[in-house]
Each structure stands twice: as structure tokens, then as C-alpha cells.
Amino acid sequence: MSDAVDTSGAAADGFEPRITAFVCNWCTYTGADLAGTSRLHMASNVRIIRLPCTGRIDPLFIVKSFERGADGVIVSGCHPADCHYTSGNYHARRRFAVFHDLMEFVGVDPRRMTFSWVSASEGAKWRDVVDEAVANVRALGPFEAYRALAPEDAGVAAPAGARVEAEAS
Amino acid sequence: MSRIGVFICHCGENIGRTVDCEAVTEALKDHPGVAFTEDYKYMCSDPGQQLVKKAIEDNDLTGVVVAACSPHMHEKTFRRACDQAGLNKYMCEMANIREHCSWIHEDRGEATEKAVDITRTIVEKVKHNQPLESIHIPVTKRALVIGGGIAGIQAALDIADGGHEVVLVEKEASIGGHMSQLSETFPTLDCSQCILTPRMVEAYQHPNIKLHTWSEVEKVDGYIGNFTVKIRKKARSVNEDLCNGCGDCQEACPAKRIPSEFEAGLGNRTAIYVPFPQAVPNIPVLDRQNCTLFKGRRKGLAKDACGKCKEACLKDAIDYDAEDTFIEEEIGAIVVATGFQLYSIGREQPEGLKGYGEYGYGEVPDVIDGLQFERLASASGPTAGAILRPSDGKEPKTVVFVHCVGSRDSEKGISYCSKICCMYNAKHAMLYKHKVHDGRAVAFYMDIRAAGKGYDEFSRRAIEEDGAEYIRGRVSRIFRDGDVVKVWGYDTLSQEQVVIDADMVVLATAMRPQDGVRELAQKLSVSTDEHGFINEAHPKLRPVETNTAGVFVAGACQAPRDIPDAVAMASATGAKVLSLFSADELEREPAVAIVNENTCIGCMNCAKVCAYGAIEQREICTVDGHVCGHVAYVNPGVCQGCGTCQAVCLSKSVELQTFTDEQIFSEINALCYWE
């Protein structure tokens, strides 16, 4: 399970990065489906979160991912001019142009963030994006900077679901 | 406390080969909030679905996660099963452990670990799913068709024949559009009027069609199924109910030398006029700009300078004091069919275009455009069908046809191909040769683009049977030289300069969208391309829809179109409108954004990024009715569910149902869960 992630702090040998991917439903998610139906093998480090459109992606999703221990993030949607919702990807592009610099400013290595356009027909491109992101982040090692700042009782050690359920009940 | 059922599918061997499904089941069994886990060989099969249904009923499940294939594959299947078992279908989600896991990984350990992560992530999401109901929107079963050319007429007839009311708005005095000006049509050479006028009459007399000519769309409010359209009926000065179309007013009108728009300037009309004899409706309009009486009034004369038409009218239908009136119509769907105009290539040009001064159009009377040639060749035209040149009425013995004037010229004109010119040039050359047997027809072309049924054969016929001379090359200058029109050109195949002493030159000028289409697009919140053509929702798969639900597009307002294309598009919009009208209510997925009015600060950032114009500002009032603030409101009938608004909301007051912040943050949290 998640024990592949080294939480002790030091970059151990055999480090396998955890990468969260935020993708749009119509292009990249479908492109990733195509990679599956085409049986294109790729690194298994990426977990996809499906959204309707890249325009839906709040930069806080990315901040949250890093805070929760992701070593890298991928954002991918429809190519410019191909957005299922006409212009959501343009809004995303502008947002990330600004956000990218902000992350760099606060000390997150921009190589941990991959922004890409993958269409529904680009299964092979999705594999390349995944493999490249994994290779980049693997080379960078685990993302420690943020977690070092998080207090020990920040809740990261408990199953997230358990916490939510505990509050709800 | 959630009671979620997790169902892990082996998909035969497809998942089971690389993912240890039992291990996934085991891992999820004790996950907080999970009440039931089961793995099965084929979850989508009937026994698999029964298993899900039974588990819902037996365990009183509040949510279902099916770890199997992509949601694009079987989400509907399992949501339906949940619905049948009495669980709200939006409480069911798919965890994609096939396309995104078992099919792309080889290592069983890694794949199993990932499958657990994926499934757990979706379980965390489902904990925050809300039971949702489909959105039902009432539909007004009345369509608006804007533009009464062949596309608009066809769309109106199709919808009206389907049993629904149609409001057809035409800005000119008669319907018929450009097609009514054409002499004969390619590739069959059948007479345009003969095939069009019966359609015009049919549209006029159809019990389901309400025709407003000399009218324009002023304002459009609302959304799919529920538009309110304000139509401006321009002052006609002739009472449509009283007029019987006798034509006495035109006889009496003293202003007889006004260039006729219908004759493309080659003939004259009176100030009170019917654009052409077969006009529908056959009711004149009074052109106030050119009317002697109104000229006098504008000068401030105390007494009216004329009044002959009113005297001549036995029905007392003429009203000089008529004013524009407005009517409002409740509309369910809109078809835009505003057509095209020809690029008028004279020296004077609107913004962005340069014109072709070197071709002498507008200066040399015997240099005409394609539409003017149509009028010359038309039996009902100014020359009764004889090909006579405008300057002196002589029969031209050499006619030069120039292709691509303005089209395919990003330097001076427009970059696109106007599509119809190759064909109508061939037709013009043919018509000319049929009427002037000893004449010489020379065409300068760039490429022959005759892609259509019978089109290539037709353009070949012009060359091979009717002897039109085709020269591949461009024309650099056209000017008057005594009695002839000199054409300087270049033959790019023989690489020689060509000089022709022509009697008349016909320019195949580019097709452009009608003036005012951008303003109309604004009213309809549809987009236009760089040239002003209306954008379709998808260039291949949604060619007659626009990005505004309930607004469709037909004919040459979308791109250059010939008649068969325009008619096919029009019938397609007819089918779209009829399918929209086939139910009393529109059912939509509830994946739409909802505003929390209690926290919304009314910044309207959401409205700025909404591509669909789905968000409007609403007033909020105190108990005693005073406006105390503004908030955003998302119209669920228009919202398409992209969620862009949510990402820009400053006060986190807008939530996209099915993809709420709570759901997504839970997914993010779940991904980073370790012991």
C-alpha cells in the first residue's frame, strides 16, 4: 500500500513518488482511458482525480495535495481551442501561469508540477506525460519541505476517512 | 454515518489478472464508512447488478462504489441499478481500476496497491455525494427562426410541419433571401424562382408559421425552452391587414429612379415598393429615406411635399405616421439563419478590409459582381434575361470571369474559401454561352474546387461542352480603355502575361456574414469567429448547435454554404428543435452549479468566466422589499456544469453539484493516507 512512500524524512533508496493528477473528464480522462484500452504500460505512481474541466481546478487542490504528502502534481485538460466547455481550459491556463510562479516563490520546485494538454485521442501522450512526471519527481526525491512545516498532529497520520467520519458522527 | 457498499469487479481476467481483487476487497472491508464489500467476476452482468441491488436493500446502503471500468463505460449501468434498488443514482460512483490500472500496469503488487488507492479515493468522494434529482425545465413549444432565406424557410417549414408554431423574422420586406435573386442554380440549371417561390408561399400560408417581415430581433432573454424575444417591427407605413397588394401606390410614386437592392443596383424601384413581383408577402414598404414626402418632412416643410401613394390607395392602407412597434414572443428554441452578403470590393471598405481598387469595381460600370450577373441572366431581371452590359446595353462578346476575388487572400481580403464561387462561375460562363453563342467566356481561376454531387462534372461541362476558356492565374488590373474593359492577367501554367479586351467582367466576390450578425450574436450569447460567422458548438459532431443551449444555426451565417448545404443544415436544425419539443419538460443531469446566496458577495467573477451566460445578477431584498444587495444566480437550464465559476469564486459560494469542494478535497486527502 502506501508504505512505498517514505515518510521518515530522508530520501531513501527505491523512493517511489506519489503523484496526484487533476484531469478533465472529456479530454485527458478519456485519453487515459484510451491508454488503458491500448494497453500502454506506464508508471503506477499517478492517481487521477477526475473533474469536469480544468477550469474547475482550484489552485488550492494543488496546495492541498502537497500538504497531504504528494510529491508531484499533474494538471491536464483539453488542448487550447478544444475545450468541451468552450473556454474552461483557457481560464485554467491563465490561472496556472500565475500559480506556477507563486509556487516557485514559496519554494516548491516547479518541476514537481506538470501542466499538459492531452486530448481524448492521445493515449500515448498521456503515458509519456505520466512517465516523464514520475521520472522528474523521482529524481527530485520526496517532497519534504512542506511536510516538515506541518505540525505532527495535523491529521496526516490518520486515515482521512476516519477523521471525517469521526466528525460526522 | 455513511454505509457504503464497495463492489469490486474482476472483469473476467481483465482486472483480476493484474489486480488481486480479493486483496482490494479485504483492504476496503474495514475502511471507515464501508458497510459491505464484495468482489465478483462480471459486476456489469445481470447477476452482478442483482448482487449490487440486493446488497443495497439488505444492508441499507447509503452509497455505492463500483471498482471496475471507466465511468464512461458503465456509470450509467450501475446508476440505473441503484435507482432500481431505491438508492438515489447520484450516490453511485465508479472507481476506474481497469483502464487506469489493470490494463496499464504489469506488476501485480503495484497494480493492487493502486487499485486500493483508487477505490478508497472514490469511497471518500461518495461519502460527500448528495442525493440529487434530475432538473426539469418546462419547454415552450414555439420556435423563432431569424432570417427568411432558403435556410430559414426550410427550418420554419420543417418545424411547422412537425406541428409546432414558428415565428419567422425577416429584416427585408420579403422572404426569399439571396436565392430569390438567382437566375438558375448549379449543378442542374433549374430556375431558382421556380423551386423557391412555392416554398415561400407555403411558409406564408402555413397555419403554424407567423411571419414578420421588415422586422428585426431586438432583444433575447431567457434560456433553452424559455426565451422571451422582443421583435421590432419596423414602420412599414403600409397597413399589412388592409393592403391587398394591388400595386397602385407604386404606379403613383413619383420617385422612380432609386437603385433596386433586389436588382443589385442594375434596375430601379420606386420609394414605396415591393422588392420583386413574387415577393412574399406582396405588401409594399415605404422607403422613408428616398420618399419625397419624408425628405420634405426632414427639411421641415410645413406642408407634405407628396402624398400620391396615399391618394392612389383605395384601401386606405398607407399611414405616413406609422412608427416602429414591438412585439414579444415566448420562444422555446431559436434558429439563426441570417445568411451572407457579398464582399463589396470597391475602394471604400469597412474596418479590416482593403478592397480591390485595381479591379475597377464601382468605377467601371461593366465590371460587375456575381449577384449582378445573376440579375442580368434572370428572366425576371432588368434585361429580361438578355445578357447586356450595364454601360451601354450592348451584348458583350467577351466576358471575363475572375474567381477568388477577396477569398483565399489573407493579405488583402479574407483567408477562407467562399466555396460557391467556382461553381457559380462555371454556371455563369455556361449561361452566358447559352445565350451568346458567338461569345467568348474566359475564367481566371486559382484552383477549381468543385466538391459536391455532380459539381465536378458540371464545371467540366462548362469547359468541355460550352467552351469556356479557363486560365489558371490571377488578374492584376482591370480598367476601362475606350470601349473595352482591359483585363491584365497572368497565366501561371504557361507563365505568360495575358491581356484581354473584354466587354464585361464578372468578379466572383467573397461571401461574408451579414452586417449586424455580431450584434445579433451578442443578443443570443453565441460566439462568432474572426470573420463574423457564427460558431457551431463542435465543428464535426455538433455542426448546427451553438454553445448556447436551444440556439441553432443554419446556412451561410455559419460559413460559406451553397443551397443544398444550407437546406440540409436547416433541416438538421428542424430535427434538433423537434426533438427538443418532443417532451413537455427538458430533463437534465443535476451536475450544475448552485450559489449559496447567504455567503455570495455579488462580485460576479463567476459570470465573467461563464462561457454560457448562465449566471445572472439577482437582487436580494429586505423583508419590506428594499433592495439590499446583489448575488449571483446560476440558471440550471443553461449551466453546462464545467465548474469554472467555482474556481474563481472569492467567497466559495458557488458549488458544482457532483464535483463539490468537499468531494474533491476528500479525494485528495484519501490519496495521501498512510499508516
Same domain, yes or no: B350 and B254: no
User: Among B230-234, B340-344, B670-674, whose mean pLDDT is lowest?
Assistant: B670-674
Q: Please indicate whether, in this complex, the C-beta atoms of A33 and B644 are within 8 angstroms of each other.
A: no
Whether residue A92 contacts residue A62, with contact meaning beta carbons closer than 8 Å, is answered with no
Q: Which of A40, A44, A49 sits opposite B667 (nearest CB)?
A: A49
Give the pLDDT score at A13: 64
Q: How far is A26 from chain B (nearest CA, A)?
A: 10
Give the pLDDT score at B355: 83
Residue B115 forms part of a structural domain: yes
CATH code assigned at B652 = 3.30.70.20
Q: Is B536 exposed, middle or buried (0-12, 13-18, 19+ CB in 10 A)?
A: buried
Alpha-carbon distance B648 to A56, whole Å?
9
Q: What is the 3-state secondary structure (H, E, C) of B557-608?
A: HCCCCCHHHHHHHHHHHHHHHHHHCCCCEEEECCCCEEECCCCCCCCCHHHH
User: What is the domain partition of chain A in residue ranges?
Assistant: 19-147
Tens-digit pLDDT profile for residues A99-133: 988 988 888 899 999 999 999 889 999 999 999 99
Tens-digit pLDDT profile for residues B318-354: 999 999 999 999 999 999 999 999 998 877 777 678 8
Q: Please indicate whether, in this complex, the C-beta atoms of A161 and B70 are within 8 angstroms of each other.
A: no
Q: How far is A128 from chain B (nearest CA, A)?
A: 13
Tens-digit pLDDT profile for residues B541-567: 889 998 788 999 999 999 999 999 999
Q: Which of B512, B543, B559 is the last residue of a domain?
A: B512
* Side-chain half-sphere CA neighbours of B339 within 13 A: 23
Same domain, yes or no: B481 and B496: yes
Q: Which residue has the higher pLDDT, B353 or A35?
A: A35
Q: How far is A30 from chain B (nearest CA, A)?
A: 8
Q: Which CATH number fits domain A19-147: 2.40.360, 1.10.340, 1.10.3470, 3.40.50?
A: 3.40.50
Give the pLDDT score at A81: 80
* Helix axes B370-377 and B421-435, enclosed angle (nearest 10): 30
Same domain, yes or no: B273 and B414: no
Q: pLDDT band for position A10 (50/70/90)?
A: very low
In terms of residue numbers, what domain contains B481? 345-512
Residue B172 forms part of a structural domain: yes
Same domain, yes or no: B306 and B381: no
Scanning every residue of chain B, which has its alpha carbon at the shortest distance from the alpha carbon of A33?
Answer: B99
Q: Is A81 on the interface with B (CB under 8 A)?
A: no
Q: Please indicate whether, in this complex, the C-beta atoms of A53 and B643 are within 8 angstroms of each other.
A: yes
Q: Please indicate whether, in this complex, the C-beta atoms of A160 and B99 are within 8 angstroms of each other.
A: no
Q: Which of A44, A61, A162 sits opposite B668 (nearest CB)?
A: A61
For β-strands B585-588 and B135-138, DSSP reports them as: antiparallel
Q: Which of A35, A157, A159 sits opposite B104 (nearest CB)?
A: A35
C-alpha pair distances (Å), B196 with each of B203, B215, B280: 11, 21, 11
Alpha-carbon distance B263 to B275, whole Å?
9
Q: How far is B400 from chain A (nearest CA, A)?
A: 42
Give the pLDDT score at A14: 80
Give the pLDDT score at A150: 60
Whether residue B421 contacts residue B508, with contact meaning beta carbons closer than 8 Å, is answered with yes
Q: pLDDT band for position A2 (50/70/90)?
A: very low
> How much of chain B, in percent, has pLDDT values that exceed 70?
99
Q: pLDDT band for position B526 (50/70/90)?
A: confident
Q: Is A87 on the interface with B (CB under 8 A)?
A: yes
The mean pLDDT value of chain A amounts to: 82
Residue B180 forms part of a structural domain: yes
Give the pLDDT score at A121: 87
Whether residue B480 contacts residue B360, with contact meaning beta carbons closer than 8 Å, is answered with yes
Give the pLDDT score at A160: 40
Tell me which of A5, A34, A53 to substitute to probe the interface with B (most B C-beta atoms closer than 10 Å). A53
Same domain, yes or no: B304 and B415: no
Q: Please indicate whether, in this complex, the C-beta atoms of B1 and A165 are within 8 angstroms of each other.
A: yes
Check whether A145 has a pLDDT greater than 80.
no
Q: pLDDT band for position B105 (50/70/90)?
A: very high
Alpha-carbon distance B402 to B505, whole Å?
8
Nearest to B375 by CA among B467, B482, B473, B259: B259
Whether residue A129 contacts residue A116, with contact meaning beta carbons closer than 8 Å, is answered with yes
Tell me which of A5, A30, A58 to substitute to probe the interface with B (most B C-beta atoms closer than 10 Å). A58
Alpha-carbon distance A113 to A91, whole Å?
18
Alpha-carbon distance B16 to A57, whole Å?
33
- Complex prediction ipTM: 0.84
For β-strands B325-331 and B475-481, DSSP reports them as: unpaired
Residue B198 forms part of a structural domain: yes
DSSP, res B89:
G
Backbone angles phi, psi at B146, to 5 degrees: -100, 110
Cell of B344: 463589396
Task: Tally the domains of chain B.
Answer: 5
Scanning every residue of chain B, which has its alpha carbon at the shortest distance from the alpha carbon of A82?
Answer: B538
Q: Which of A30, A48, A51 sits opposite B643 (nearest CB)?
A: A51
Residue B240 forms part of a structural domain: no
Per-residue burial over A7-20, b = 16 or more CB atoms within 10 Å of its CB, e = otherwise: eeeeeeeebbbbbb
* Helix axes B108-126 and B21-29, enclosed angle (nearest 10): 40
In a 3-state reduction of DSSP, which class is residue B167? Answer: strand
Q: Is A121 on the interface with B (CB under 8 A)?
A: no
In a 3-state reduction of DSSP, which class is residue B556? Answer: helix
What is chain A's alpha carbon radius of gyration, rounded to the nearest angstrom?
16
pTM check: above 0.80: no
Mean predicted confidence (pLDDT) in B203-219 = 97
Q: Which of B32, B99, B656 sits opposite A32 (nearest CB)?
A: B99
Please report the number of interchain residue pairs, chain A to chain B, with beta-carbon separation below 8 angstroms.
175
Same domain, yes or no: B362 and B446: yes
Provide CB contacts within 8 A for B132, sequence distance 6+. Answer: B88, B90, B590, B657, B658
Give the pLDDT score at A130: 97
List of chain A residues whose C-beta atoms are within 8 Å of the C-beta of residue B124 = 160-161, 164
Q: Please indicate whether, in this complex, the C-beta atoms of A56 and B646 are within 8 angstroms of each other.
A: yes
Same domain, yes or no: B193 and B226: yes
DSSP, res B641:
-
Tell me which of B11, B100, B118, B129 to substitute to probe the interface with A (most A C-beta atoms closer than 10 Å). B100
Mean predicted confidence (pLDDT) in B19-24 = 96
List of chain B residues whose C-beta atoms are within 8 Å of the C-beta of residue A131 = none
Check whether A7 has a pLDDT greater than 60.
no
Q: Is A98 on the interface with B (CB under 8 A)?
A: no
Q: Is A8 on the interface with B (CB under 8 A)?
A: no
Scanning every residue of chain B, which has its alpha carbon at the shortest distance from the alpha carbon of A81?
Answer: B538
* Helix axes B661-671 and A59-67, enclosed angle (nearest 10): 30
Give the pLDDT score at A157: 43
Alpha-carbon distance B102 to A37, whole Å?
10
Polymer length in residues for chain B: 675
Check whether B593 has a pLDDT greater than 90.
yes
C-alpha pair distances (Å), A135 with each of A118, A140, B493, B609: 18, 9, 56, 35
Give the pLDDT score at B246: 94
Rounded to the nearest 10°, the torsion over CA A103, A108, A112, A114 is: 10
Whether residue B305 contacts residue B294, with contact meaning beta carbons closer than 8 Å, is answered with no
Q: Which of A36, A68, A87 sits opposite B103 (nearest CB)?
A: A36
Backbone angles phi, psi at B408, to 5 degrees: 55, 40
In a 3-state reduction of DSSP, which class is residue B429? Answer: helix
Check whether A164 has a pLDDT greater than 80.
no
Q: Please indicate whether, in this complex, the C-beta atoms of A68 and B1 are within 8 angstroms of each other.
A: no
* Helix axes B455-464 and B421-435, enclosed angle (nearest 10): 40
Give the pLDDT score at A5: 40
Same domain, yes or no: B377 and B484: yes
List of chain A residues whose C-beta atoms are within 8 Å of the C-beta of residue B11 = none
List of chain A residues whose C-beta atoms are within 8 Å of the C-beta of residue B103 = 36-37, 39
Give the pLDDT score at A125: 95
Give the pLDDT score at A165: 38
Q: Which residue has the higher pLDDT, B460 or B356?
A: B460
- Secondary structure (DSSP) of B355-386: --GGGTTTTSTTEEEHHHHHHHHSTTSTTTT-
List of chain B residues whose C-beta atoms are within 8 Å of the C-beta of residue A26 = none
CATH code assigned at B542 = 3.50.50.60
Give the pLDDT score at B674: 47
C-alpha pair distances (Å), B603 with each of A60, B213, B315, B661: 20, 42, 59, 20
The mean pLDDT value of chain B amounts to: 94
C-alpha pair distances (Å), B306 with each of A139, B248, B296, B297, B309: 91, 15, 8, 10, 8
In a 3-state reduction of DSSP, which class is residue A57? Answer: coil
Same domain, yes or no: B51 and B112: yes
C-alpha pair distances (Å), A126 with each of A75, A89, B100, B245: 11, 17, 11, 68
Check whether A167 has a pLDDT greater than 80.
no
Same domain, yes or no: B382 and B497: yes
Give the pLDDT score at A149: 61
Cell of B97: 481500476
C-alpha pair distances (Å), A102 with each of A76, A105, A148, B388, B491: 19, 5, 20, 73, 60
Alpha-carbon distance A137 to B400, whole Å?
68
DSSP, res B179:
G
Q: Is A53 on the interface with B (CB under 8 A)?
A: yes
Check whether B368 has a pLDDT greater than 70.
yes
Same domain, yes or no: B197 and B335: yes
Q: Please indicate whether, in this complex, the C-beta atoms of B647 and A55 are within 8 angstroms of each other.
A: yes
Q: Is A85 on the interface with B (CB under 8 A)?
A: yes
Q: Please indicate whether, in this complex, the C-beta atoms of B642 and A55 are within 8 angstroms of each other.
A: yes
Give the pLDDT score at B42: 95
For β-strands B511-513 and B340-342, DSSP reports them as: antiparallel
Q: Which of B496, B512, B528 is the last residue of a domain?
A: B512
Same domain, yes or no: B180 and B257: no
Q: Please indicate whether, in this complex, the C-beta atoms of B668 and A95 are within 8 angstroms of each other.
A: no
Q: Is B669 exposed, middle or buried (0-12, 13-18, 19+ CB in 10 A)?
A: buried
Alpha-carbon distance A115 to A123, whole Å?
16
Q: How far is B646 from chain A (nearest CA, A)?
A: 6
Scanning every residue of chain A, which has its alpha carbon at the shortest distance from the alpha carbon of B100?
Answer: A36
Check whether A6 has a pLDDT greater than 50.
no
Tell me which of B662, B668, B675 to substitute to probe the interface with A (most A C-beta atoms closer than 10 Å). B668
